[in-house]
A and B are shown apart, each in its own frame.
Chain A
Amino acid sequence: MANILNGKVPPGSISDKWVQYKSTMNLVAPNNKRNIEVIVVGTGLAGASAAASLGELGYKVKCFTFHDSPRRAHSIAAQGGINAAKNYRNDGDSVHRLFYDTIKGGDYRSREANVHRLAEVSVNIIDQAVAQGVPFAREYGGLLDNRSFGGVQVSRTFYARGQTGQQLLIGAYQALSRQISLGSVEMYNRHEMLDLVIVDGKARGIIARNLINGKLERFAAHAVVVATGGYGNVFYLSTNAMNSNVTAAWKTVKRGALMANPSFTQIHPTCIPVSGDYQSKLTLMSESLRNDGRVWVPKKLEDAKAIREGRKKANDIAEEDRDYFLERRYPAFGNLVPRDVASRAAKTECDKGHGVSPTGLAVFMDFASAIHRYGKSKAHNQGMHNPDEATIVKLGEEVIAEKYGNLFDIYNKITGDNPYKTPMKIYPAVHYTMGGVWVDYNLETNIPGLFVIGEANFSDHGANRLGASALMQGLADGYFVLPYTIGQFLANDIRTPKIDPNQPAFDAAEENVRKQIEHFLSVKGSQSVESFHRRLGRIIWDYCGMSRSEEGLKKARKMLRELREEFYRDVYVPGSNNEYNPELEKAIRVADFFELGEVMIVDALHRNESCGGHFREEYQTEEGEALRNDADYAFVAAWEYKGWDQDPVLHVEPLHFEAVELKTRSYK
């Protein structure tokens, strides 16, 4: 392996590294900060928290989002919660345990030092959020409440009803708004980054398209921070917001940054199943539901068939004819196994013919026992000793409504079914991308001055992310890591004058963007961008989704290349550049999804093992569990993009495990 990457992990024992490093890091003096400009692209949890914190430190920040307001970023949709090693429950949680759970949950494919740092700062995030006014759930005593999430045996998840992401993002948005009003952050809404500008080997600016009038605008700065979220929409159907895309991150890759582990994508087990071709996105039912929901399918194939054909209902299936397959296969964690495991198990049952929706692609998630259990305990609390069945159910439903009311409402609005009375139907769907732009311990890419944070980078979740840890990571990066580590780079730049956006590198980048736009507008083909996106997504889902095989991946690569060729030849983009033109925006994004999609396939093909969300059919145990290969694949695969005509080039960062022992993951 020729190209070895250096993660720049500082020396010291795992638990002291960050503290020591922080106290010896280069600093930028306040008078110098005033002259240093930083571009932050993205206003999700990662971008908004970073822009606000950098502004507070005194840097001159320019912040960008393609949304009409910073508050709309996709982070707003996160439902379940955010982890922190506060140990408020006194249930044995600690920084080390959060660290360990995250490494194990990620199937030992993440960088130890980053994950430990994440666990360390997790506690500060909760403090910060509460100080900003984030209304986390509380107990009657007025203190903060917690719930548990998949893959762990402690309760460390803080939540704000089913709207944790919304409340955290509003907190960060408000902090950002304060900096905007103080003048330290200049906000550019409805501006989409379409290229990165590199001057003398350093990231010095971006080209952004003003989405209202189509103008290409140049912005220069001493450093660029990309916080543009994940690329789950390469699958077309996903739980991501409709406009989430890879473009900003991908443009940095085209300028020399590396795409790490792109095939590590997370398929979330509990989503509302697909119901028709017109469908444009899938809706997540928070993982927190698995605290109380029991997942099952009918044991008998004929029962499953009857349900699919509408001849039977879930409630017609007797208890002994139900297969609670997660509880059966994984008695220790039961319904709370990690997402990759739960998703695969559901797929296995449906592939065997036990699926329960007309498409055959759904399993039940049942709340009847939880309703019963809570109903009894509430009745007891209210001093009823022999409550009748109806009372128990009524009280139980009240408890469930308090915990998950808004999720049940969403389910009801979308499907028209009442989940209090009949079990929900769920199926896995694309949810999160662990892969992303490669960054070192400082969150800096291989391009000096280019930092990537939040879901857009690859850093902390290995091959599978545990629930409630993306919010944690985004905010850790933005509030507590980047504001320090960016100083390492900027400290050497205090003598660099204001960067001039009228130099050749900017001209070239702008020209590059203009050419692409002109191409799409001139094709005047016959098919919509959306139809290509849908077909691309189908290829990736079928061959690079929940399970992958060498044969399938090779076929997919070929199909994708043909489709891309057709796209460039036959896409129809209406309108012109100098107006509000969503179809044009989509075309540019889908073009990047094509290129990314191919690298995903290459990555999946290259990794001859199964780990976390990456399941290669060739590599599994007899029981169908993932078979990891630590001897040959304990590394990060970071791909250098060489253009459409060449294969991407592999760079590897070997992973060293010192604080945890490499073990086969078991949730049995």
Chain B
Amino acid sequence: MNKFSQFLHSSLGNKLLMSFTGLFLILFLVVHLIGNLQLLIPDQGEAFNAYVRIMEKNILIKVVAYALYIAILLHTYKGIDITLRNRKARGGQRYAVKAVSGTTWASRNMALLGSLIFIFIGVHMSNFWYKFKFGHHEGTEFYTMVDTSFSELWIVVFYALAQIVLAYHLLHGFQSAFQTLGLRDGNYTRLFKGIGAGIAVGLPLLFAIIPILMYFDIHPMPDFRVFPGQ
């Protein structure tokens, strides 16, 4: 084995992969959120539609999109792989009584939370992404599609619940990623845990608010555009 693949196969190499892909996904979520907030501008979707059209044409965005798919698949695959390997390390006999001192519920359930997120991603993609790409025909704008979906109560509830799952995943995931990178040391521990909690609450909350407000037809967002001249 050469040094690099040795590194990748080591426990820490694996964890670094989780950390990098996880942080990349978080970065994507932030960008995704900003784009989505345009749905709440009271302009009947004009800004949002323009934004989506630009995104569709941009080659760079395409590259990033593929990187994203790879990251999701890698993160998911590794996440499950790691979880199984860790379970094996525990040995055949389980504790009859096990205290959980020092650990959070989220940290103990990352694989479950992640798998739920994966399911959500699947549903979400077939809902919008698939329809955008293959299903949408002349006349129906993106905004209308989203608006139609979010007028159904069960879809709104589904999206909101998914965000709770995401919140817990991030609550542990964000600060954990910095620990894995070796940056969460000394005073930085508090910093990363703080930012992590902020992100874990903020991101999913804003994501969840979009379908809810759209369901009630509330559009409080001041007009802003992600791309100038969009």
State if A and B touch, Cβ cutoff 8 Å.
Answer: no
B residues near A, CB below 8 A?
Answer: none
A residues near B, CB below 8 A?
Answer: none
